[in-house]
Structure formats: structure tokens, C-alpha cells
Amino acid sequence: MPNAAPFWLCHECGAQMRPVTVNGVPHCASCNGEFIEILDPDVNPDPFHELPPAPPTRPGTESSPSSPRPNQPFQHNPGQGGQSFLSSLFGNILGAAADHREGQGEGSQAPSGGRATNPSTNTGGSGGSGSGSGGPRTYSFNFPGGGRGQVVFGFGSGGGGGGMGMGPFGPTGQGTTTGGMDFESLFPGFGPPPRQGPGGPHPLGPGDPMDGAELLRALMAVMGEEGQGGPGMFFGPAGRANLGDYATSEQGFNDILERLMQAAGPQGPLPASDIVIDGLPRFKFDDEKKLAQSTYKDCPVCKDDFAVGDEVVRIPCAHIFHPDCLVPWLKQNGSCPVCRFSLVPEEENRSRRSENTGTAQANQEGGQSTMTNILNRLFGQAGGTTSNPTSPTDNESNPFTFGSAGEAARSPAPQASESSAAQADQAPAAGSTNDDRAEDPPSPTLPASGQPAAQDSQSPSEQDRPSMSTAIPEDYRARHRERERQRQHQEDSQG
């Protein structure tokens, strides 16, 4: 084994391979992903197996025993080359939890109190009288920038006595831990990365709001942007993050997980943009005659019969609703409740779908990575405009039009969700790179027209149509402006 080049494991496609190096960055030879891991036991002992509890000690701490509260969050030295963002992050999170525990009257916090509080003696999950069976777990990974990081998770899942070592910065195991946070409860389902082969089980780790590998990937995505310089830079030059970046309670953590889930999940339908929502034509049932002429007699959402005087809003598929019934739905799912006619630009859906195949090209062209794309999705930026390698096919895309031709052309749109789901089926283990239908939270940072505009490159006619927003019919935009004005007016008169 030592004489041959070691195999690497790709966390994106699950392949074991020898990587190809592109611009000095190792890529998966199979899927070209960058989240790969060397399997050489000399370099990186198999992370899927329990290791003896010997995480790396914090550089420099041995020589600074005067540190008053070594496990205090924020205490660590920022930007230490070998430390990964994750170990810092979890160290801080759990450090905060440890601080919390300290307030529970467990006696003095003196280093001599028998508890191993000095990071230099941190031995992962083996601290205290922990009966936890889990040792630390090591993951290492490459970053788009060429750096490489390592993170050690120590588990002490054995009941109340479990240690909770979290690598270099974590609080050490405390046999008396009772009210603190248990890592497994923070990350239900956190465990070894799924090792399911192709055609694996049907739920994509259904128990895991986000399983280990995926969580890492998502967090690394965050790092991919913030830490362009490589690992360990997430907290910026000062090595500090906002307090809001820390989760100090389980609820807080659940919130974060939920946000990540929503952002990276495959089941997030895309909301319709404000322009489209505002721009949908509305009319009023002025009299009985109009009411009688209507094909649809009741609102499909509230099931109330339409009455004279009701205002209704119409989707291009001709289904009508009370505005108050339809708008909240469109803000979370831009499709007709009745027939699933999609109000989300096909281009937007498609560009997400193409991220998979586009990653390789993007990596070579602009150095943009899947991680960055995930990140962009997480934070609602118009994802990967430079890396979106779809220009050759853009001309085929359906621009966002509502004309009769556009409607005909868009008829496949309602099937978008099905086809996307089907696609996800083909790679059950591929994780978040496959999550092409991630939901952008309707973030206020998104200008109403921004997203479609940034995604679109050309309309078929290539006239002066630089952005998709211009493909939205003028009457839609006019109605949107009018409604904006009304809202503003209302606010003014109320304030």
C-alpha cells in the first residue's frame, strides 16, 4: 500500500479514485468535485473509523499555561494555519455551552479541579468519566483555494457521562455533564458520512436533517466565500465573528439547521418574484353577470364561492384566486395551486439543474466551485453568474414571457418539479450538489428583479434585452410599480 499512490474518496459522488489536479487543486476524477479526501492511512487515517482519542493539540498552548480560561470561546488564536474553520466554529459553539454549564454551580473552575480544562490536555471524547464509546472522527478536505483542512469531531454519546471533546478548542469531556449540549442532539443524525452506493436506500438519509458530510459541505460552502485565502480564515482577519454567528442554544442550532435545510434542500420550490406576483392581472366581479360568466365559481384555496365585489387575481393558466389566498402561496411556491403552471422563470430552474454538469467547466474557467454556488444559494445571491456555463444553451431557454407563444413554450414548466425529482433519484448519494431546486429564501437582499435579471443572458431575439426582467411583459411591471406606489402610499398615510 505505501508504494502505490493512495486512493482518494470523493464526498460528492462517493467514488474512490486518484484525483486529477487542475491548477494545482485536486479534483475528483469521477465527478470533478473538490470535496475529496485522501484515504492514505499515513496521511489521513480512515475517518470512518474511530480513532484513538488523540486530536491535535492546539499549537502554542503548551507554552502558555497562564491562559486563564483556556476553554473560553473567543480565546483561540485566529488564523492558525492548521486549524480548520469547523473546529473553530464548533469549539466556539460548544465552548459557549461549556460556559453556560459553568454557571450551574458545579464548583470552582480552577484548572486543578480535576476537570481537564486545558486544551493542551484535551483528549477529545475521552475526557472525564465519559462512557461514550465514540472517539474523535477526522475529516479532511481540500478547498477551492488549494488549502487543506482537517476537522476532528469527538463523540461521547454514552449517556450522561459522555465527553464532548471537539478537537483543539472544544471543552473537554466532563463526567458531570448533565445539562449541557449533547453533540448528537445538536446534530441528530450526525454520523459517519453515508456510504450508500448507487441505487441506495430511497430516503436520502431521511433521518438526517443534514447528515455529516452534507453539513460539512454546506459549512464549507460558507467558508468557500469568506475564506478565499484558505481554511481558517472564516472569522476574518480579526478572527472574530458576530455574536449572531454563534448558536448558544439547541433552538438556535435547530434554526440554523432549518435554514440550511431550506436553503440547500431539494424540496424547496422557488417562489415567484414580486414583479410577477404584483403583475398578475386582477379584476373585480362587479356584478352578477360577470360572476355568472366566470368559469370558476370558487377560490381553490379558501374554497369560498366568489361573490359580487370580490377582487380576484388570475394566473396565465386562467385559474383565479382571491389575492389574499394566492399571494402567500406564490411567495413560497411560484406555481399555480391548481395546475402547477410555473411562474418561476424556466431559466432559473434550469440554471440550477445545470450546475451539476456545469461545475467542471466552471472550475476550470473561473475557479468558481460548487461550494460557492451553494453559498450563493444559501445567502440568496444571484448564484454563480460568472460560473454559469450555460451560455451555449441559453438561446434555447424559454425567456420569461407571458405571451401566447410564451405560454405554449412554457407548458413543460409545471413538470419541472417532477423531472427534477427524478433527476435527484439517479444520484441518491450525491448530496447537495444535486439540490438544484434549492429554495432561495425570499431574502430582502434580493431586488425583486435582480435574480431573474442576473440569471438571464439573452432572449432569443437578442434585441435590447439584457436581462430577464425585461422579458416580463411591460404591463406586469407597470402593475408592479403601481402596487409598490400604493403600498408606499399606505405606509406613508399610516406612519
Partner 1 sequence: MSGLSTKRLMKELADIQSKGTPEGIILLSADSMEEWVFLISVLGEETIYKGETFALRMKFGNRYPIDVPEVTFLANEQYQPPLHPHVYSNGHICASILGNEWSPVLNAVAICITMQSMLASNKKKERPEGNDRYVRTAPSNPKLTRWHYDDDTV
Q: Which residues contact partner 1 (rule: CB under 8 A)? A: 184, 188-189, 201-210, 254, 258, 261, 265-269, 300-304, 324-325, 328-329, 332, 337-338, 340, 417, 421, 424-425, 428
Which H helix or E strand runs over 91?
A: helix 85-102
Which H helix or E strand runs over 494?
A: helix 474-494
Measured CA to CA, the distance from residue 224 to residue 227 in angstroms comes to 6
In Å, how far from its chain's centre is CA 163?
29
Cβ distance to partner 1 smaller for residue 30 or 332: 332
Cβ distance to partner 1 smaller for residue 124 or 266: 266
At 329, list the grid cell.
Answer: 402561496
Q: How far is the CB of 415 from partner 1 (least distance, A)?
A: 12
Q: How far is the CB of 434 from partner 1 (least distance, A)?
A: 10
Q: How far is the CB of 414 from partner 1 (least distance, A)?
A: 11
Length of the chain: 495
Cβ distance to partner 1 smaller for residue 121 or 423: 423
Measured CA to CA, the distance from residue 116 to residue 392 in angstroms comes to 60
Q: How far is the CB of 247 from partner 1 (least distance, A)?
A: 16
At 182, list the grid cell.
Answer: 449533547
| DSSP 8-class letter at 60 | T
Q: How far is the CB of 294 from partner 1 (least distance, A)?
A: 17
Measured CA to CA, the distance from residue 383 to residue 303 in angstroms comes to 38
Cβ distance to partner 1 smaller for residue 291 or 338: 338
What's the Cα-to-Cα distance from 154 to each of 52, 122, 157, 170, 413, rounded to whole Å? Answer: 10, 11, 9, 9, 47
Cβ distance to partner 1 smaller for residue 10 or 336: 336
Measured CA to CA, the distance from residue 398 to residue 472 in angstroms comes to 12
Q: How far is the CB of 311 from partner 1 (least distance, A)?
A: 16
Q: How far is the CB of 375 from partner 1 (least distance, A)?
A: 19
Q: Which of 128, 73, 117, 69 is closest to 95 using CA atoms?
A: 73
Give the burial string for 355-372 (b: 16+ CB within 10 Å, else e): bbebbbbbbeeebbbbbb
Cβ distance to partner 1 smaller for residue 45 or 265: 265
Q: How far is the CB of 41 from partner 1 (least distance, A)?
A: 27
Cβ distance to partner 1 smaller for residue 56 or 189: 189
Measured CA to CA, the distance from residue 261 to residue 204 in angstroms comes to 13
Q: How far is the CB of 184 from partner 1 (least distance, A)?
A: 8
Torsions phi, psi for 24 (to 5 deg): 80, 0
Measured CA to CA, the distance from residue 78 to residue 85 in angstroms comes to 10
Is residue 335 classed as helix, strand or coil in its secondary structure? Answer: strand
Q: How far is the CB of 351 from partner 1 (least distance, A)?
A: 19
Q: Which of 187, 175, 54 is closest to 117 using CA atoms?
A: 175
Q: Which of 274, 203, 269 is closest to 437 using CA atoms?
A: 269
Q: How far is the CB of 328 from partner 1 (least distance, A)?
A: 5
Measured CA to CA, the distance from residue 170 to residue 56 in angstroms comes to 12
Measured CA to CA, the distance from residue 186 to residue 171 in angstroms comes to 15
Name residue 447's amino acid. P
Find residue 335's DSSP bridge partners: 342
Is residue 307 classed as helix, strand or coil in its secondary structure? Answer: coil
Measured CA to CA, the distance from residue 318 to residue 338 in angstroms comes to 10
Cβ distance to partner 1 smaller for residue 375 or 430: 430
Cβ distance to partner 1 smaller for residue 246 or 329: 329
**Strand spans (E) along 70-147:** 136-142
Q: How far is the CB of 56 from partner 1 (least distance, A)?
A: 29
Cβ distance to partner 1 smaller for residue 43 or 421: 421
Cβ distance to partner 1 smaller for residue 299 or 471: 299
Cβ distance to partner 1 smaller for residue 14 or 26: 14
